[in-house]
Structure 1
Amino acid sequence: MHIEVPKKKVAKSNKEVFDFLSDIKNFETLMPDNIDKFEVLDDKTFKFALKGMPEITLRLKEQVPHEKVVLGAASDKLPFTLTGDILALGDNESEVGLSFEGEFNAMMAMMIKSPITNFMQTLSSNLEKIGQ
């Protein structure tokens, strides 16, 4: 299953956006209002829960300086990745595209597609909070 949300322009350099997304404790800033729990487990791992949803643990899996940050599920039970692609538009402007990639059976995909899409749209719109 592949989900992509519209790219978001951010009034920060690609380096600033990359540094922000590479520091996992900053993801608390991007979370939706209905967050129930956010806990940093180590410098590459955090877990969170939204109201009415199970806990999800994410780990920093890959970093391409100033271009890409990839988070992945810490558990192999539900393998998926959340990727932030960063494109420099100028010295103080970047464009960030968020995408989700996961392998789920048809029933599971049908159940989670809408909540994950909404979650990603919230993360994307909250990118404007970088550096505030």
Structure 2
Amino acid sequence: MKLESPKVTINKSPQETFDFLSDVKNFESLMPDNISKFEVLDNDKFLFALKGMPEIVLKKKELEAPNKIVLGAAGGKIDFSLTANIVELTETSSEVQLTFEGEFNAMMAMMIKNPINKFIETLASKMPEAVA
């Protein structure tokens, strides 16, 4: 299953956007309002939970400054990745699109598609203000 957020424009250079997203503690400011837990576990790993959902641990898996950050599931029952693709628009602005990818059986995919889609849309929509 592959889901993509809408592209968002951020009034910061790709490097500044990359630096913000590389710091896992900054993801707290992007989380939806229905977050019930957020905890930084170390420099490259954080845990979060949304109300009614299990806790998820995300870990930085791949960094390609200033264009790409890949977070992946750190343990747990499901394996997936969340990728931030950063594209330079001008020297002082960039565009970000989040991509969620994971292998799920049909039943699981049907159950999580809408919540995951809403989640990555929320993360993306909060970026222009949070990164600024």
Shared fold (TM-score greater than 0.5)? yes
Contact 2:56 2:76 in 1 (8 A): no
- State the shift of 1:123 in Å: 0.2
* Alignment TM-score, normalising by the size of structure 2: 0.97
| 8 Å Cα contact 2:72-2:79 kept in structure 1 | yes
Query: Within 5 Å, which residues of 2 pair with 1:75-94?
Result: 75=75, 77-94=77-94
State the distance in 1 between where 2:129 and 2:60 align.
21
Q: In structure 1, give the amino acid aligned to 2:102.
A: G
Give the drift of 1:130.
3.1
Q: Deviations over 1:42-100 (max 9, x none)?
A: 00000000011110000000000100000000016201000000001111100001000
Q: Aligned runs of 1:117-132 on 2, under 5 Å?
A: 117-132=117-132
CA distance in 2, matches of 1:91, 1:109: 39
Deviation sequence 1:7-44 (CA, Å, 0-9, x none): 11111100000000000000001000111000000000
Map of 1:33 onto structure 2 = 33
Mapped to 2, the partners of 1:131 and 1:115 lie a distance apart of 24
The answer to whether the 8 A contact 2:82-2:101 is kept is yes
Mapping for residues 1-132 of structure 1, pairs under 5 Å = 1-75=1-75, 77-132=77-132
Structure 2's unaligned 5+ residue stretches are none
Q: TM-score, normalised by structure 1?
A: 0.97
RMSD, aligned α-carbons: 0.9
Q: Is the 8 A contact 1:30 1:129 kept in 2?
A: no
- Structure 1: which 5+ runs fail to align? none
Q: Which runs of 4+ in 1 moved over 6 A?
A: none
SS of the equivalent of 1:130 reads helix
Aligned-residue sequence identity (percent) comes to: 59
Give secondary structure in 2 for the equivalent of 1:113.
helix
Tell me the matched-pair count.
132
Contact 1:87-1:95 at 8 Å conserved across structures:
yes
Distance 2:70 2:129 in 1: 20
